Amino acid sequence: MNASGINRAFSIDDLRERARRRLPRGVFDLYEGGAEDELTLRENRAAFERIRLRPRVLRDVSSVDTTTTVLGTPLALPLLIGPTGAVGFGWPHGEVALARAAQQFGVPFVLSTSATSSIERIAQAVPGHRLWFQAYILKDTDFTLRLIERARLAGYEALMVTVDLPVGGKRERDMRNDFSVPFRWTARNVAGFARKPAWALAQLLAGQPVLENLVGLEAPKTSTSGLVSSVGRRYDASFDFEALARIRDAWGGKLVVKGVVRDDDTERLVRLGCDAVVVSNHGGRQLDGGIATLDALPEVLEAAAGRIEVLVDGGVRRGVDIVKALALGAKAVLVGRATLYGVCAAGLPGACRALDILADELNRSMRLCGARQIAEITPDLIVAAAPGSAA
Ligand SMILES: Cc1cc2nc3c(=O)[nH]c(=O)nc-3n(C[C@H](O)[C@H](O)[C@H](O)COP(=O)(O)O)c2cc1C
């Protein structure tokens, strides 16, 4: 697809539809799906949709400034591209495209442990750009520590430890689709791949993606019934606050913890010395029935009490969603599927289109709310829940 073609996508949902048409079912579902009945996945979106705004008028919004800071350094938009594993199954080395798009838009890129592009490959692709490394805590502690050391040597500015995945969530779409890494050449998969020739050709030319950061790690022993369950077996389910303190000491730099939804956990993380938390439920891919992230945000903010930064992710599909999250008190949002849809639809131009859409919608929503700068996105923009309503 050429760049003008992708510019005919006007919303993240348009990009999602293009990704759906280009990808085999198993790959699309890998990105799209959540755990079990996908209650939390839907709830993340529903929480955004429940919020109503009280726009200010007559505020001279002829120019608007979307810049902000996170961890003390500037961002062009209050947004980061969050960590998503296995992007290469949708677009060869899709993480490189995501990192380049992040660079073009002046926002950090968070590289997943489970990426199909290595720590070093990404650092070389966007020299000097702000990169964060997302660590999963593997059973093989030495391997985890080596990953963290590699991230430091490659110049990553922050370490994001994801803590909502002691075991893999039960993602039934992957099981039904026979989706695993490496691909299983079942009749269903081969038939699905054959129906998507543009995707199949790109994969054939690039070779089957590899989780490059995990090369050398011993494969899980049991046979796989899906990517998630197989990857989940690598994680250290005994990981706790004390072990996190050891990771903090080994890293020594900015530490962000992702996957927090409770006040007591936030308090302990503040005391542990972390610099920011991400209110996240892994995009509804882990505990099904877990609280929507936007609903958990006030509790975490109250516990953080301004001592650390609070970011949020889950369900951001519109620029106005960013206004809502910031009005509730988040410092910035992370996007997962929004940019994934873009990169899977059209590689780098698709990833850029996703950011372009979100940036344009954010800019427009800020003007329509009478907010000329990020600091003017304040709680009074939000309609308070009516007493007795299910807020
Ligand atoms: C396909 C996919 C892969 C993901 N892989 C990771 C990962 O490797 N590490 C991680 O911390 N979170 C991962 N996540 C969760 C995202 O970082 C983020 O929390 C979530 O996608 C936010 O919800 P959204 O997709 O609605 O924006 C993944 C999410 C998706 C959709």
Q: pLDDT 10s per residue in the chain (391 long)?
A: 555 699 999 999 999 999 999 999 999 999 999 999 999 999 999 999 999 999 999 999 999 999 999 999 999 999 999 999 999 999 999 999 999 999 999 999 999 999 999 999 999 999 999 999 999 999 999 999 999 999 999 999 999 999 999 999 999 999 999 888 777 778 888 888 899 999 999 999 999 999 999 999 987 654 444 444 455 678 999 999 999 999 999 999 999 999 999 999 999 999 999 999 999 999 999 999 999 999 999 999 999 999 999 999 999 999 999 999 999 999 999 999 999 999 999 999 999 999 999 999 999 999 999 999 999 999 999 998 766 565 4
Closest atom of ligand 1 relative to the 30 alpha carbon: 1
Q: Is 213 in the pocket of ligand 1 (CB under 6 A)?
A: no
Q: Which of 121, 130, 282, 331 is catalytic?
A: 282
Question: Is 187 within a domain?
Answer: yes
Question: Is 389 within a domain?
Answer: no
> Cα 280 from chain centroid?
9
Is residue 255 a contact partner of residue 248, using CB atoms and an 8 Å limit? yes
Q: Is 31 in the pocket of ligand 1 (CB under 6 A)?
A: yes
Question: Is 388 within a domain?
Answer: no
Collapsing DSSP states into helix, strand and coil, what is residue 139? coil
Q: How many CB atoms lie within 10 A of CB 86?
A: 23
The packing angle between helices 197-206 and 187-194, to 10°, is: 110
All residues at 6 or more sequence positions from 139 whose CB lies less than 8 Å from its CB, including other chains = 234, 235, 236
First to last CA, the chain: 43
- Overall pTM surpassing 0.75 (yes/no): yes
**129 tagged catalytic:** no
CATH code at position 282: 3.20.20.70
Q: Is 339 in the pocket of ligand 1 (CB under 6 A)?
A: no
All residues at 6 or more sequence positions from 143 whose CB lies less than 8 Å from its CB, including other chains = 216, 217
The domain tally of the chain equals 1
Burial class (CB in 10 A: 0-12, 13-18, 19+), 25: buried
Is residue 93 a contact partner of residue 122, using CB atoms and an 8 Å limit? no
**What's the angle, vertex CA 281, arms to CA 13 and CA 366, rounded to 5?**
50
- Domain residues for 118? 3-381
Question: Is 365 within a domain?
Answer: yes
